[in-house]
Structure 1
Amino acid sequence: MAVRRSIFSRIVALAILLSLALVSGLWVLTDQTIRVTLEGSARKAVDVDLAGLADIHASSGREELERRIRDRLAITPVDGAAPHYLLADANGARIVGDIAAWPKLDADISESGTIRIGKGTTAFARATRLGPDLQLIVAREPADGGALLRRVMLVFLAGGALFMALVGGLGRLAAGRLHWRIERINDAFRDPEEGRLPPPGGSSKGDEIDELTAHSVAAIARQKRLIEAYRETSDQVAHEIRTPLMHLDGRLTKALAAGTDEPITTHLIGARTDIKRLVAMLESLLDIAASKARQGDRHGLRPVDLSDLVTRICELYADSAEESGHDFGWTVEPGVIFRGEEVQLSQLVTNLLDNAFKYVPAGGRVRLSLASGPVLAVEDDGPGVPEGDREKIFDRFYRSRATEADLPGSGLGLALARAIAERHELTIGLDPSAKGARFVIRGEG
């Protein structure tokens, strides 16, 4: 199974992506929490500072308040959260402090809000009235959380990377185990004869894969029983029919050897011909049924050198073609290897050639070609196939009415060819041709 198509690889990738999304979401939440906490600390510091200065004014007077504000402005805070002050008269004129002008904050209601300090600095501030002609603003910049946020970000990056690595590793191990268990089932269906699965009821895990395994074992066992029953029945039927026919043929042979009148001899020879035709028909029907029963079953298929196989068959047919007066030629690309049963593939090629030589009159042309793919074509310049018969000719016992009375045959040759082709996952059909017929076999891959 290719990795890019594996559902288990997709599950692992999805788990890693979800882990990444989870870590990212937690980072965003943590970042916002830290920022809100720092802002809350600034607000609390402003309220505490403002309350302290108000107490100083109430207990020690305005001069002491001014001195304390100057002292606080002279001190640089360690945490970087710089305080700012403005002590002003009733009109907002500055008495002391580093805030240039009174902002839009109402001291009568102790209004608070964010104000701008200088050009690019903002701070949280609160105003209050200390007397009829005295009002105070205390502002504080939020603490510099950049260093804290960077440290937290590094922790999240390291922890997130470790978390995703663990998720990916554990997910891969789990997916690998599931993949192995599923692949055992697939291998068992590809090659049922190997006994790759445990016997039914042998699993103790009891999960969905084990249930699927149990059903697969039962299905394969049932398939084997059906195939064995079919083989036994077909072999028995073949034996029961073929044996009496062969005995009858033996008696006819003895009768011919004993010598009889010419009319009787002619009838006996015709009877023997019919017997041989029935036996051949029976064998073809059994071959068709066996090929269809094994369709999709890859067991028993081996690499076959099609180029060598087809060349040997063509060399055998070359002598017959010379005797029958046919122009026969072939073009075979070397090194065409295909996985299949050599006997059946030979039968597939010979059936197509037999069909061509049977329908093409003496002096006609028959050509065979083989290319990689594989693509095997047998074409002739005979009478061709009527348009209405192009698909029917692959049915069992079907023979075109145009040739049914002229040529012998049972109408099973092309049906057997299609059954063998389908058993090997090949397609067979008629391609358009200017004259005659062109049968083409193609690999589905």
Structure 2
Amino acid sequence: MTGHSPPRRGQRSIFGQLTAASILIAVIAVAVLFAVTTIIVQRQTRASLSATVATDMAGLIDIYATAGREELLRRVADRQAVVSLDARRSHYMLADAAGRPLAGDQRRWPQINAKQSEEGFIALADGTPVYAQGAMLAPDLQLLVAREYQSDRAAQFVLSAAFLAVGAAIIGAVALVAWFTARHLAERMNAVNAALGAAADGRAASFPARQRGGDEIDEMAGHGTRLLARQAQLLKAYKQVSEHVAHEVRTPLMHLDNRLGAVMKEHPETVGGALVHAREDIRGIAAMLDSLLDIASAESRRGDLAGLAEFDLSELLTGLAELYEASAEESGLAFETAITPGVTVLGERMQITRLVSNLLDNAIKYVPEGGHVRLTLAPGPRLTVEDDGPGIAREQHERVFERFARASLPDDKPGHGLGLALSRAIAQRHGLLLRLGEPPRGAQFILEPAP
């Protein structure tokens, strides 16, 4: 028997994809927010440093403009050891046009253009990173004001670490919620699939109970419940009508056959082709009704182990092969066997015999003269009946197992289309699967345990 469980390996789950998409969106959102925050903080830091350095520079320029060069030299000397309130240490350099130091704590002019009042992030001679600005106070006098920003970098690092920690927590929370939600939805969908699979296999189906409030899955389960109930009702009515008709029609047909036989005995002069054909037609219809009753009986006992017994399938097939060798020879066919000894099966001997006989009859019936029919049995058990005849089109592989369905073949033979339907019903009654293989030529019927 088959059923539906959680997604098999290699099978994609929509809920898994939704979980992955939720996590990906959360990661992208956190990354974008981190990038935007970092850019804003960096711009604010630059703006703050620029304003601080510009203010300091403006004050020194004002001192030079109002008190002269000597006062500026004295003020620069006083300021070089001062640490600002925001912990940004200041650096100064007053130099001549050639860059020779006149005052301040720096002994070499950095890579900054004082003539253009350039400012920006640079490194001092000792490698200290600073934000600096240069200015030309006179043709032979230039001033450098710089501020360290290690504290800003440390604050930015702490902010980044905190942001990433919070972002990781958010991503983890999203992943956890998405996983639990997806798992809950997947379990509910698996329950619905299991119910549908059980119904497809002919077993009792039970849909999951409705969740509080209800949602789309509950609505689908409700529709499925009503659909299966309706289907079961129609199927039951169909089977009842079929079995009733088969029972009711078979008896008068047999009575009619007996009466025709009696007429032919009492009036030998009436014996002719018309009456003979009539009796053959009656017996054909009776055989069809018997097959319908047998199919109904096998389907009603599917999964029921009562009446089954272990027997030697190899011995049964060996006996059948001996019987069919003569039939195959009369039809001009080569009959081959490859039967592994000692293979057993749990089942009804007569039903298995009928199943295999139907397959062999079909092969001998449809394979043209000069063809081959092969019967094989391997442990499992795995039984195959194959031939090199016209075969069955791929799109008809399932249809041929339906009642009254017949494959479209160039040289079709008369029949009711019930043999393969009966064979599959017998196989299912024994927990076996009868299917068509895909050989390069001809037809191949495979009987094996159902997955």
Aligned to 1:84: 91
Secondary structure (helix, strand or coil) at the match of 1:86 reads: strand
1:239 aligns with 2:244: no
Secondary structure (helix, strand or coil) at the match of 1:105 reads: coil
In structure 2, which of residues 206, 213, 232 is the aligned counterpart of residue 224 of structure 1? Answer: 232
Output the CA distance in 1 between the equivalents of 2:17 and 2:412. 58
Aligned to 2:415: 410
Matched-pair contact (CA < 8 Å) for 2:97–2:141? yes
Aligned to 1:68: 75
* Structure 1 letter corresponding to 2:256: L
- After superposition, the Cα gap between the structure-2 partners of 1:309 and 1:282, relative to the gap in structure 1 and judged at 3 Å, is farther
* Structure 1 letter corresponding to 2:8: A
Matched-pair contact (CA < 8 Å) for 1:310–1:349? no
Matched-pair contact (CA < 8 Å) for 2:436–2:446? yes
Cα displacement (A) at 1:226: 2.6
Larger mean Cα displacement after TM superposition, 52-61 or 232-241: 52-61
Output the CA distance in 2 between the equivalents of 1:325 and 1:105. 107
Cα displacement (A) at 1:191: 1.7
* Structure 1 letter corresponding to 2:218: D
Matched-pair contact (CA < 8 Å) for 2:118–2:135? yes
- TM-score w.r.t. the length of structure 2 is 0.70
Output the CA distance in 1 between the equivalents of 2:176 and 2:88. 45
The runs of 5 or more residues in structure 1 that have no matched partner are none
Cα displacement (A) at 1:75: 4.9
Aligned to 1:2: 8
* Structure 2 letter corresponding to 1:280: A
Output the CA distance in 2 between the equivalents of 1:115 and 1:403. 94
Matched-pair contact (CA < 8 Å) for 2:112–2:118? no
Output the CA distance in 2 between the equivalents of 1:341 and 1:86. 108
Aligned to 2:166: 159
Matched-pair contact (CA < 8 Å) for 2:385–2:445? yes
Output the CA distance in 2 between the equivalents of 1:77 and 1:260. 136
* Structure 2 letter corresponding to 1:66: L
Output the CA distance in 2 between the equivalents of 1:25 and 1:421. 64
- After superposition, the Cα gap between the structure-2 partners of 1:57 and 1:441, relative to the gap in structure 1 and judged at 3 Å, is same
Output the CA distance in 1 between the equivalents of 2:244 and 2:228. 24
1:314 aligns with 2:312: no
In structure 2, which of residues 191, 195, 206 is the aligned counterpart of residue 188 of structure 1? Answer: 195
User: CA-to-partner distance for each residue in 1:332-382, whole Å, 9 max, x for gaps?
Assistant: 4877999x9999876542201234567899xx99642134798633257xx
Cα displacement (A) at 1:43: 1.2
- After superposition, the Cα gap between the structure-2 partners of 1:105 and 1:23, relative to the gap in structure 1 and judged at 3 Å, is same
Cα displacement (A) at 1:58: 5.3
- TM-score w.r.t. the length of structure 1 is 0.70
User: CA-to-partner distance for each residue in 1:390-437, whole Å, 9 max, x for gaps?
Assistant: 659968578989796xxxx6363665478769988754268567xxx7
Please give the residue correspondences for 1:383-422 in structure 2 after superposition, counting only pairs within 5 Å: 385=389, 387=390, 396=405, 410=415, 412=417, 416=421
Output the CA distance in 2 between the equivalents of 1:366 and 1:151. 82
Secondary structure (helix, strand or coil) at the match of 2:286 reads: helix
- After superposition, the Cα gap between the structure-2 partners of 1:266 and 1:401, relative to the gap in structure 1 and judged at 3 Å, is farther
Larger mean Cα displacement after TM superposition, 40-49 or 189-198: 189-198
Output the CA distance in 2 between the equivalents of 1:37 and 1:333. 88
Cα displacement (A) at 1:69: 1.7
Aligned to 1:37: 44
Output the CA distance in 2 between the equivalents of 1:229 and 1:29. 69
Output the CA distance in 1 between the equivalents of 2:364 and 2:108. 111
- After superposition, the Cα gap between the structure-2 partners of 1:92 and 1:225, relative to the gap in structure 1 and judged at 3 Å, is same
* Structure 2 letter corresponding to 1:24: A
Aligned to 2:282: 275
Cα displacement (A) at 1:88: 3.5
1:49 aligns with 2:56: yes
Output the CA distance in 1 between the equivalents of 2:189 and 2:93. 76
Cα displacement (A) at 1:120: 5.0
- After superposition, the Cα gap between the structure-2 partners of 1:316 and 1:410, relative to the gap in structure 1 and judged at 3 Å, is same
Larger mean Cα displacement after TM superposition, 22-31 or 96-105: 96-105
Output the CA distance in 2 between the equivalents of 1:117 and 1:271. 118
The runs of 5 or more residues in structure 2 that have no matched partner are 1-6, 330-334
Output the CA distance in 2 between the equivalents of 1:429 and 1:10. 35
* Structure 1 letter corresponding to 2:215: D
Output the CA distance in 1 between the equivalents of 2:42 and 2:344. 71
- After superposition, the Cα gap between the structure-2 partners of 1:178 and 1:346, relative to the gap in structure 1 and judged at 3 Å, is farther
Please give the residue correspondences for 1:94-173 in structure 2 after superposition, counting only pairs within 5 Å: 94-97=101-104, 98=106, 100-101=108-109, 105-106=113-114, 110=117, 112-115=119-122, 117-118=124-125, 123-128=130-135, 130=137, 134-173=141-180
Aligned to 2:359: 352
Cα displacement (A) at 1:46: 0.6
Output the CA distance in 1 between the equivalents of 2:328 and 2:214. 70
What is the alpha-carbon root mean square deviation over aligned residues?
5.2
Secondary structure (helix, strand or coil) at the match of 1:194 reads: coil
Output the CA distance in 2 between the equivalents of 1:341 and 1:152. 78
Aligned to 2:446: 441
- After superposition, the Cα gap between the structure-2 partners of 1:50 and 1:61, relative to the gap in structure 1 and judged at 3 Å, is same
Matched-pair contact (CA < 8 Å) for 2:137–2:143? yes
Output the CA distance in 2 between the equivalents of 1:264 and 1:35. 115
Output the CA distance in 1 between the equivalents of 2:139 and 2:267. 154
In structure 2, which of residues 172, 182, 186 is the aligned counterpart of residue 179 of structure 1? Answer: 186
Secondary structure (helix, strand or coil) at the match of 2:80 reads: helix
Output the CA distance in 2 between the equivalents of 1:416 and 1:301. 17
